[in-house]
Chain A
């Protein structure tokens, strides 16, 4: 018979993939320009305190400026690893305080329409449309917490520092919104997520 010597070690710990949805993304609707999108995440503790993470989402913005209409939309995915810094005192407690990194890729399209180019001498010129399909790559440093509020349900937030690897992806028109990254005008940025997560308790040990 296997006997545990430490207190709490007799309690079983559940393991399984954890699926999350980023609630902060819904607040982006109130940003200017309004951004519509969702983001899901999956992570699983494959080894003690080590959580490979996969995140994927979709974003869309559309705005009408004085001189042009602009839209940008596309999908993105990020892969990385979170490391839990919180020591496990009680095996039934699954809270985590983590640091991690991500590599992000977005495949998106941005376009401008009804572009007015003022020219006082030869007359204003109207460019019917400008369109470009792009791929963006970036890195993120992530820190945050995940707290188990009810058995297998977690609330978590994270702060992210983002480094865009190819800021010159479109030398003619800087993307106003790179899905999953933010404004293409800055090659460094911050991000925030606020997620609700569910861990599928596949097995216990």
Chain B
């Protein structure tokens, strides 16, 4: 056996092992809250019209996430700068506030996509102008949002 050919073979082997995976998009860790109604003990999905929603930080309103739209659920980005995220839900000029207290961990999605935040909902507080109650479905929010994944149910 020609010993000289072995290092060359090895370099080729090494080269073929190098993977080139591409990150499709930089995933965000977002909370999904579905709108529900409860009538005579029966829970139903519902569509709410005229939904405006935005986050507030340091008492200042941030840019709009939703602007007067009809929705059956909202997808909300959470704030990794704080251990809470606060939102204003405005339905036809009736305003509710929602504060979600969470813990934040960071994990690696992949070497090409980098890191993401993983939030765990500790508890939440809300006003009851339009909202009747809020139920927690799933406490863990990471960047891999499954189809039909929901974290909160907001009853009106």
Contact = CB atoms under 8 A, between A and B. Distances in A.
Interface residues of A, number: 34
Contact of A120 (B28, B81, B105, B117): B28
Contact of B116 (A28, A117, A121, A194): A117
Contact of B7 (A27, A120, A121): A27
Interface in A27-68: 27-28, 30-32, 65-68
A118 B26 contact: yes
A130 B55 CA distance: 28
B81 A122 contact: yes
A68 B114 contact: yes
B108 A66 contact: no
Contacts, number: 85
A153 interface: no
A139 interface: no
A192 B16 CA distance: 14
A61 B96 CA distance: 51
A119 B80 contact: yes
Given A112-B115, A120-B28, A122-B77, 15 more contacts: A23-B7, A24-B7, A27-B14, A31-B14, A65-B111, A67-B113, A68-B115, A112-B108, A116-B114, A117-B80, A117-B114, A119-B80, A127-B115, A130-B115, A171-B107
Interface of B: 3, 6-7, 10-11, 13-14, 17-18, 26, 28, 55, 57, 62-63, 65, 77-81, 85, 105-108, 111-117
Interface of A: 23-24, 27-28, 30-32, 65-68, 70, 112, 115-123, 125, 127, 130, 155, 157, 171-174, 176, 192, 194
